[in-house]
Structure 1
Amino acid sequence: MLKSLLLLLALLPAPALAAAWKLDPATRVTTDVTWEGRIVEVRFPTLSGSIDFDQAHPERARASISVAAGDATTGVAVVDSLLRSRDYLGAAQYPTITFQLDKLTQTSKSTAEVSGRMTLRGVTRPVTFHAQVFAYGPAKDDPDRFEAGFDLSGAVDRTAFGSTGGVPDVASVLPVRIRLLMTSR
């Protein structure tokens, strides 16, 4: 599907190759934490980043996406305070969590493996996410704007980054989801 889309899109107005893209405000980063027998979704609403993506050579993609650890939220104030504390995210000392994309490897027409490095609590470790294309082409609301969207999913062992609060009652391996929507003109 991705290669077919790329061929079709070559006929449409598209961004310059190797263009710097911008994160769309619809981009979301979340994880689930099991707490007291319930699954609690943690959202990171404040994010920023840069993306260099060449639609003719997706394997050359590079990106850096950061979220504000101090803005992590579940919607429950007491849980939010605990989450941001020294034993979990350590938001006061380590205000950002960053993912650096190093390699994108296409695995099917609409999927890829995304490898890179995550920095959490001042510790950097390699991580890999599975990516699924959900949007690729001119935006419906503005045909002069090109958009690409990917759902990334994977897991991160938070204890490898020094986040040991609540273990073993709070899982050490957490699922991570990134709904990445980027645009270019």
Structure 2
Amino acid sequence: MRACLALVLVLLPGFAPAASWHLDPSSTVSVSVPWRGTSVAVRFPELSGQIEFDERAPARARAVIAADTTRATTGVAPVDALVRGAGYLDAAEYPTVTFRLDQLVQTSKSTADVTGRLTLRGVTRPVSFRAKVFRYGPDPADPSRFAAGFDISGAIDRTQFGSTAGAPEVGVVLPVAIHLLMTSD
């Protein structure tokens, strides 16, 4: 009887189990750091993580995504060393920035509000972002797999995570842009 009930629940719409997904290597995080009337783009070129996502029930999504702070780059070696240093990312002490997805709320056919917890420099704080879908359907490279892509944007106040170096000359509210592409197993 339990087996029949479990099978019925799995077959009902909205009760499908979430599938594991893989981050595409093209996924990136970029943070714009205001400085002297301009901005410096800090990129995190390699992401890792675990994603559970059911394309029929996106609100059930759960994810943990990490960026390697030791690989954060501006493209200028002395600036990279400063950004990775103790006053900013403190990559030697905290080699990853982690985002844990708590909730994804669809706001239109192609947008969603994303909330979760960001851990930066050993401090965890709630954050909210806006997501816009740029791909949702069969993977162009392999139509037997499903692909989902989101451009996610928002901002964080770095002082809430203990990074106060250079303020106010170096901005404290940092716009964040995440280009996230994932594919199903």
| Length-normalised TM-score, structure 2 | 0.89
What does residue range 39-58 of structure 1 map to in structure 2 within 5 Å? 39-58=39-58
Counterpart code for 2:105: T
**Residues 41-69 of structure 1 deviation map (CA, whole Å, 9 limit, x = unaligned):** 11001220110001121111000000011
Where do 5+ consecutive residues of structure 2 fail to align? Answer: 1-15
1:73-127 alpha-carbon deviations (Å, 9 max, x no partner): 0000111111011110011001100000000011111100000000000000000
Shift of 1:36: 3.5
Question: Superposition RMSD on alpha carbons, in Å?
Answer: 1.1
Q: Which consecutive residues of structure 1, in runs of 5 or more, have no partner in the other structure?
A: 1-15
1:44, 1:69 within 8 Å by CA — same for their partners in 2?
yes
Per-residue CA deviations over 1:15-61 (Å, capped at 9, x if unaligned) read x8510001011101001112243321110012201100011211110
* Paired position in structure 2 for 1:102: 102
Q: Distance in 1 between matches of 2:28 and 2:96?
A: 15
Work out the CA distance in 2 between the residues paired with 1:61 and 1:141: 24
Matched residue, 1:134 = 134
Equivalent residue number for residue 4 of structure 1: none
Instruction: Look up the match of 1:27.
Output: 27
Tell me, in whole angstroms, the C-alpha distance in 2 between the residues paired with 1:56 and 1:44: 30
Query: Any runs of at least 4 consecutive aligned residues in structure 1 with deviations exceeding 3 A, and if so which?
Result: none
Give secondary structure in 2 for the equivalent of 1:163: coil
User: What is the alpha-carbon distance in structure 1 between the residues aligned to residue 115 and residue 166 of structure 2?
Assistant: 28
- Residue matched to 1:123: 123
CA distance in 2, matches of 1:136, 1:62: 17
Aligned counterpart, 1:172? 172
What residue number does 2:154 align with? 154
SS where residue 70 of structure 1 aligns? helix
Q: Secondary structure, in 3 states, of the residue corresponding to 1:75?
A: coil
1:141 Cα offset (Å): 2.1
Contact 2:25 2:46 in 1 (8 A): no
Q: Which amino acid in 1 is paired with 2:172?
A: S
Distance in 1 separating the partners of 2:138 and 2:17: 15
Matching residue's letter, 1:135? R
